[in-house]
Amino acid sequence: MPIRNEKGLKIWHRRTGRESLSHWVLWLIGVAIFGYCWQQISNTTTWFFVWDAPRIANDIWMRATPPKWSYIAQLGKPIWDTLNIATLGTIISLFLAVPVAFLAARNTTPSALFIRPIALLIIVSTRSINSLIWALLLIAIIGPGVFAGVIAIAIRSIGFCAKLLYEAIEEINETQVEAITATGASRWQVMAYGIVPQIMPAFAGIAVFRWDINIRESTVLGLVGAGGIGLQLSSSLNVLAWPQVSLILLVILAAVVISEWVSAKVRGAII
């Protein structure tokens, strides 16, 4: 405990002199980095536009209200597409994520040296690339439309689902697995009766959680041409039809809120 003698008084300090010095140096470096970053942003900013921002924001607000309610008739199909992209994408990704998770979990992988790193690489690379980038890529390959959106969402979700699932597999109770093994069960029977029942609740929870996230993500996939309500958003933005934009934003907001509510309800029922 660092106690320093100051004018005859013994005073307790939280850190020793050396510790507080290194703290200060770290903070200084942090502040310097932030200052540099801020300068970089500031240099590339047209400050005239920023000072003008309140007027422009007000202007956009005036144009956007009230929302063009009659446009809602044309949003039925896009929102249905968005729902399908999220749901089908989640289902496909779960089919792909389950084997990846089993290969990545330390206690079920066939080879910790060769196969596990590959599975982990799949998890990291699918997770670190945003679904919009996957969509861009898939549109270049298979053309624009809902199909590209479904595949983009599916690929993007593999890493997320597989990561959470393999963590759940690593946390299972080994005694149950041993009990099944002791009855003379084969590898697959151990899997089916010892491991799978233990991770089923986690699996269901992950599926619903990811579906909820995917609804959010699929609402904007249309911005790059991958179907769904984002397509309407980008075409309305392109023609500066602000009353339509505000209506679409309201619809997206409603979809997000409803999906969150549904997922909370379903997860409450499962877990």
Partner 1 sequence: MSDTSFDAAARIGQPWKKPPFVQRRWLRLLLIGGFLAYLVAAYMTIDVNWSRVYEGLERGKKFVLAFMAPDFTTRSTDIWEGMIESIVMTVASSVVGIAISIPIALGAARNVAPLPVYLICRSIIAISRALQEIIVAILLVAIFGFGPLAGFLTLSFATIGFLSKLLAEDIESMDKVQAEAIKASGARWTQWINYGVQPQVMPRLIGLSIYRIDINFRESAILGLVGAGGIGATLNTAFDRYEYDTAAAILLVIILIVMALEYLSGVVRARVQ
Footprint of partner 1 (CB under 8 A): 33-34, 36-38, 40-42, 44-46, 49-50, 53, 56-57, 60, 80-81, 83-84, 87-88, 91, 124-125, 127-130, 132-133, 136-137, 140-143, 145-147, 150, 197, 216-217, 219-220, 223-224, 233, 237, 249, 252-253, 256-257
Q: Choose between 7 and 141: whose C-beta lies nearer to partner 1.
A: 141
Distance CA 32, CA 222 (A): 40
CB 155, min distance to partner 1, A: 12
- Token pair, residue 242, equals 């602000």
In sign, the C-alpha dihedral spanning 171, 110, 123, 263 is: negative
Q: Choose between 82 and 109: whose C-beta lies nearer to partner 1.
A: 82
- Token pair, residue 13, equals 């300090």
As a whole number of Å, the end-to-end CA separation of the chain is 46
Give the 3-state secondary structure of residue 9: strand
What angle in degrees, to the nearest 10, is found between the helix axes of 196-220 and 229-238? Answer: 20
Q: Is the separation of the CB atoms in 210 and 161 below 8 Å? A: yes
Q: Choose between 8 and 155: whose C-beta lies nearer to partner 1.
A: 155
CB 121, min distance to partner 1, A: 9
Radius of gyration of the chain (CA): 26
Q: Choose between 191 and 249: whose C-beta lies nearer to partner 1.
A: 249
Pairing, β 3-6 against β 9-12 = antiparallel
Q: Choose between 68 and 147: whose C-beta lies nearer to partner 1.
A: 147
Nearest partner of 3 among 185, 12, 26, 22, judged by Cα? 12
CB 92, min distance to partner 1, A: 11
Q: Choose between 95 and 110: whose C-beta lies nearer to partner 1.
A: 95
Q: Choose between 115 and 133: whose C-beta lies nearer to partner 1.
A: 133
CB 211, min distance to partner 1, A: 13
CB 134, min distance to partner 1, A: 10
CB 190, min distance to partner 1, A: 17
Distance CA 89, CA 40 (A): 39
- Token pair, residue 267, equals 């997860």
DSSP 114: T
CB 3, min distance to partner 1, A: 18
